Chain A
Amino acid sequence: MNKSKDELLQELLASISQHKMPPDVAHIEIHGNEVLNAHLVPGLEVNSKSFEDGVNINIRVIKDTKIKNPVRFCFGLIPENGIQKLNINTVIEENASATFIASCTFPNAKNIQHLMDATITIEKGASFSYFERHIHGPEGGVTIAPVTKVFVKENSRYSTEFELIKGAAGIIELDYEAECEKDAVVDMKTRIFGRLKDKIHIKEAAHLKGENSVGVLTSHIALKDEANAIVENEIIADGAFARGHVDCKEIVQDNARARAIPIVQVNDHRAHVTHEAAIGSVDSKQLETLLSRGLTENEATELIIQGLLK
């Protein structure tokens, strides 16, 4: 690769339409196995070490620190082929709070693997939100395989959102698992528009171990062309008064196929877990309402899917 660090950085940022950020916004840009740029704010520590096809990253938000602005991460690869492995260990210390927004971009992908192995620990009274947006080219060609284990300690909160709406993915293998202690809250959302021959497999699990812990798993998927999705959502409630909800909605068009496997298990009679799943074509009532406003079937379907994936 002959491009300079600056050229790569500019190209990476341009692919996610990211403009200059003010000095009080922390941001880290990683291309392949190279940290191109890192700008931190007080209370946020990030250490990284590159290896052959990836980066080991340790992130720490120091005790009692409230990071005001979301921390921006930009991951990606500009070339058509390659591997990016990210091993990330994140600790949000006691009573700290932070929001991370990660943009993952592979605009020219033909055969790219974006692999992540993450551990997140949210200490007592802390709060952490992680939003991951993928922006891909029109042809797919990316394998996305993040494995994330989250420890949500007493009275702490964790929310995560995975979004892939623009472009085709290729293969998505999400594997998220969270353990919640007393009074902890976990909220996982996935919003994906699968196209072409995309293969999507989502495994999200919340283990509500502590009393009064809460877990919500939401998967909203739209599929068209030959795309295929399997969604496995699992909530196990051990804690007294733990509450959980699984919500899986999938709209299927063309020759796409979808399968939802919700698993809910309650091991304490005072806990309560619910689930709802709806898979199929666009809801006829919604469709007829919009058709009777004069939208064509394609326009109406697009609007309904936009809403589902919002």
Chain B
Amino acid sequence: MNILELKNVTLIKEGRSLLNDITMDIWDGYVHAIVGPNGAGKSTLAHTIMGLGGYRDFSGDILFKGKSIKNLSIDERARLGLTLVFQEPARFEGLTVSKFVLAGVKEKSKSLVDKALEMVGFDPSKYRERSVDKTLSGGERKRIELASVYAMHPELVLMDEPDSGIDIDAIKYIFDIIQEFKKEGISVILVTHSPEVLKQSDHAFLICGGQLVDKGEVGKVFEYFSGKCSPCKHVGKPELEKSNLRGQQ
């Protein structure tokens, strides 16, 4: 069963085609990856799914749990169970970690804050009352943002470059939480160009120049990605094969 379906999504901004006729199905309860070189349109796709400002005016449709979310605002999409972990987490001056973690939670409790912080490898007693501001590193804020998503218990999590800004020792916690989401039946879309992150997924899509180039089993997509995309020989213009897509889901 699909939790999310993209149907011929095309996004043109200032005369540039950022997403070009993308159709994809996201299976419920699985970890999917969207891979591609820098500038391929991966983050654009994530932002379009979440409905961020500047990414709303697209053609085609996006269905979440079978219903179109095209005309829904960000918060309406979130309340249906869709959320996004940003590549660069925001800073919130004066807002405590506890308040931030519980922001999207109806039944707020200290124990939930502690559990969410432990999930991302933080000692709650050292972080609960800190502010989500510049006193925390980008990596710390990213893990706290992930804790807030864990506390929210969504149905589908979009994670934009989940390893960016995270030091090597802490990546384990990011991978653990991805697997915890899966265990709890939460679907995940990882936007990445990291082979290590890609390995966390069950299924992958390769996009380039705003187009879907390949999809299928992770090893196969990675082989294509590393063979044809790295180093990139066509800079944002995918060499689509005759059938448009090499693999089938």
A249 cross-chain contacts in B, Cβ below 8 A: 93
B47: nearest residue on chain A (CB-CB)?
Answer: A288
- Expressed in whole angstroms, the minimum distance between the Cβ of A301 and any Cβ of chain B is 12
A296 cross-chain contacts in B, Cβ below 8 A: 75
Query: Are A303 and B95 also in contact (CB < 8 A) when A291-B78, A295-B75 are?
Result: yes
Q: How large is the interface on A (under 10, 10 to 19, 20 to 34, 35 or more residues)?
A: 20 to 34
Q: How large is the interface on B (under 10, 10 to 19, 20 to 34, 35 or more residues)?
A: 20 to 34
In the assembled complex, the Cα of A276 lies from the Cα of B173 at a distance in Å of 35
In the assembled complex, the Cα of A291 lies from the Cα of B77 at a distance in Å of 9
- Expressed in whole angstroms, the minimum distance between the Cβ of B94 and any Cβ of chain A is 3
Question: Does any Cβ of B come within 8 Å of A283's Cβ?
Answer: yes
> Secondary structure at chain A's binding surface: helix, strand, loop or mixed?
helix
Residue in A288, A303, A306, A308 whose beta carbon sits within 8 Å of that of B74 in the complex: A288
In the assembled complex, the Cα of A291 lies from the Cα of B92 at a distance in Å of 14
Question: Does any Cβ of B come within 8 Å of A23's Cβ?
Answer: no
B95: nearest residue on chain A (CB-CB)?
Answer: A307
A247: nearest residue on chain B (CB-CB)?
Answer: B93
Residue in A220, A286, A294, A304 whose beta carbon sits within 8 Å of that of B75 in the complex: A294
B89 cross-chain contacts in A, Cβ below 8 A: 289
B103 cross-chain contacts in A, Cβ below 8 A: 290, 293, 295, 303
A3 cross-chain contacts in B, Cβ below 8 A: none
**Per-position contact with B for A116-146: 1 when CB-CB < 8 Å, else 0?**
0000000000000000000000000000000
Contacting B at CB under 8 A, from A249-290, are: 249, 283-286, 288-290
Question: Does any Cβ of A come within 8 Å of B83's Cβ?
Answer: yes
A291 cross-chain contacts in B, Cβ below 8 A: 73-75, 78
A294–B152 CB distance below 8 A: yes
The 3 A-B residue pairs with the shortest CB-CB distance, nearest first, are A293-B104, A310-B94, A307-B95
Additional A-B contact list (16), CB under 8 Å, known A220-B93, A294-B104: A285-B90, A286-B92, A288-B86, A290-B104, A291-B74, A291-B75, A291-B78, A292-B75, A292-B83, A292-B84, A293-B152, A294-B83, A295-B103, A303-B95, A306-B94, A307-B99
